């Protein structure tokens, strides 16, 4: 049963209109061209109306980041339907992350743009809290996979390394790799294979370093990656 009044529904619909317009600006012209004036002009609303929904452009960026994190969380949930061992499930998350950034590069750009204190300090507390909660949801998925590997005996972390630190290390590797991937002027001097191959290789190096079994010398994770791509295609 819908408990919202007509005015409340219209408010939410208008807010989504502003967010869609903002995302389109980011998609076509990037963060530098993103302004409240531009959103107001593209939606044919007064700038003051936009400010009834968002405190500033950074507030809109945080709202967009929240949407992107929700989409990423959905991709993670789909990835975990892949039948495999604990390490393959972690690779499934990496594959979902890779596909997310490939299919929706503007959404990943938003995730990068909002990772600065300058944006978070200007946005409203409500938007920042919603974004942090969605971020935590993605982290919880990773933590659950690592925890399951420990429980199954596939992974034993050193006494100096916590589960959360392992989670952070894996996240940092994937985020950094995918953030640098489009920066051709930075990486052109390096002779590199394709980004998917780098992702698989670096995950194997890191997980082998943790002793997460089966090791890459004991199991064909290149074949796992090929199976994962087919599995994810069936879920789109």
> pLDDT grade, residue 3 (50/70/90)?
confident
Prediction pTM value: 0.91
CB atoms within 10 A of CB 66: 22
Look at 103-107, 127-131, 183-187, 220-224 and tell me which has the smallest mean pLDDT.
Answer: 183-187
Give tens-digit pLDDT for 60-77: 999 999 999 999 999 999
Give tens-digit pLDDT for 180-189: 998 878 888 8
pLDDT at residue number 1: 52
Mean pLDDT of the chain: 94
pLDDT at residue number 186: 81
Name 4's Cβ contacts closer than 8 Å, sequence gap at least 6.
12
pLDDT at residue number 106: 86
Give tens-digit pLDDT for 165-182: 999 999 999 999 999 998
Helix (H, G, I), strand (E, B) or coil at 183: coil
Q: Is the pLDDT of residue 149 over 80?
A: yes
Give tens-digit pLDDT for 87-125: 999 999 999 999 999 998 888 988 988 988 999 999 999
Q: Which domains does the chain have, with CATH numbers?
A: 1-53 (1.10.10.60), 70-235 (1.10.357.10)
Looking at the chain, how many residues does it have?
236
């Amino acid at each position: 049963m819908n408990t919202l009044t007509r005015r409340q529904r219209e408010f939410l619909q208008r807010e989504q209109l502003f967010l869609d317009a903002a995302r389109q600006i980011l998609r076509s012209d990037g963060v530098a061209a993103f302004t409240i004036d531009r959103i107001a002009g593209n939606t044919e609303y007064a700038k003051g109306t936009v400010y009834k929904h968002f405190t500033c452009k950074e507030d809109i960026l945080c709202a967009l980041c929240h949407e992107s994190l929700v989409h990423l969380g959905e991709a993670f949930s789909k990835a975990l339907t892949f039948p495999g061992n604990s390490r393959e499930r972690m690779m499934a998350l990496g594959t979902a992350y890779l596909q997310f950034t490939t299919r929706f590069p503007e959404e990943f750009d938003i995730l990068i743009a909002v990772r600065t204190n300058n944006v978070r300090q200007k946005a409203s507390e409500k938007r920042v809290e919603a974004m942090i909660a969605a971020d935590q949801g993605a982290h919880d998925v990773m933590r659950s996979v690592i925890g399951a590997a420990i429980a199954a005996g596939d992974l034993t972390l050193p006494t100096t390394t916590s589960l959360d630190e392992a989670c952070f290390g894996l996240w940092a590797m994937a985020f950094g790799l995918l953030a640098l991937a489009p920066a051709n002027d930075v990486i052109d001097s390096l002779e590199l294979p394709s980004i998917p191959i780098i992702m698989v290789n670096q995950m194997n190096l890191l997980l082998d370093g943790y002793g997460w079994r089966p090791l890459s010398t004991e199991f064909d994770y290149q074949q796992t990656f090929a199976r994962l791509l087919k599995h994810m295609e069936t879920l789109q």
